[in-house]
Structure 1
Amino acid sequence: RAVLRPAEFHESKSLRKFLKTNEWRVEYDLRFEQVINACAAPSPGREETWISDDMKAAYVELHHLGYAHSVEVIDNDRLIGGLYGVKLGRVFFGESMFSRESNASKVALHAICKKKLLGPLSLIDCQMPNAHLQSLGMTLITRSEFEEILSSEIK
């Protein structure tokens, strides 16, 4: 399973410099439906998505119940990146992310990992590995390790 431990988030030199010089704002749970719609929108190389209208409705309901959360990256009141997922205990299950500007999804993940925007987390479930997440510190763990973490961190 692909996971990211917030304490092991890799903040590259270039990301650190970028964070100091940009004027983007990071919000939390203010534009949930906009984020999920942006994640579901077609993008270069991906015409279809698993995020159906029924899935969107289910996640919106989970958001209203306080389980699903979004992180939004804003530039001049324009949503330029973000992510959403479900938080149970100290585990955040990342469902999807998007970026309309370079570094926007990194800024969203940074807010979760380093600024503890969602509170203290022991693990972010990234589900599937990819080069982008690997560059930020994602690692692979076995199913048994994943289940052990879930049993201790979800109360």
Structure 2
Amino acid sequence: MHRIVSLLPSLTLPLLLTSLMAAAAAQTPGAASGNRPQTRPAVAVEGIYSDLRWIPGEADLLGFEFFIVNGGVSGYYAVLQCAEGEATRPALVKAQVTGERIEFEAHSQAGSLCPKARFVGTVSRRGLTGRFDGSDFDITLARRPRFWRR
């Protein structure tokens, strides 16, 4: 650090920042052994994914809305709302995230119409695509504002 401070008068701001970042990297645990620190996925997993929609003329609400949140050290959580004709009570479940892959178990919770099964999906910039175990079809949910805000 003393070496960097002694060079301060001759450094421009970009060069100073580069020097400070290099010095910090050299002092990061694992830097000498070539281990790289864990990086975030290229696509943010957190967000609202929904295909909830009103059926015109029926007054029925159908679809799914998943809200994925990062709980910090406790990991990721998903708030699930599933509708078959009407809105139901949302369910809160623990989610496992690895890169862009998300997995959670939708447990039996009173008032929720979500399938009581494991969901495995992949997040992209456009949305979330996945499937509940035992289902014959994929669910594709767009990344968009929550249904109830519209």
The structure carrying a bigger strand percent of its residues is 2
TM-score of the superposed pair, with normalisation by structure 2:
0.29
With CA pairs under 8 Å and 6+ residues apart, which has the higher RCO, 1 or 2?
1
Structure with greater proportional helix content: 1
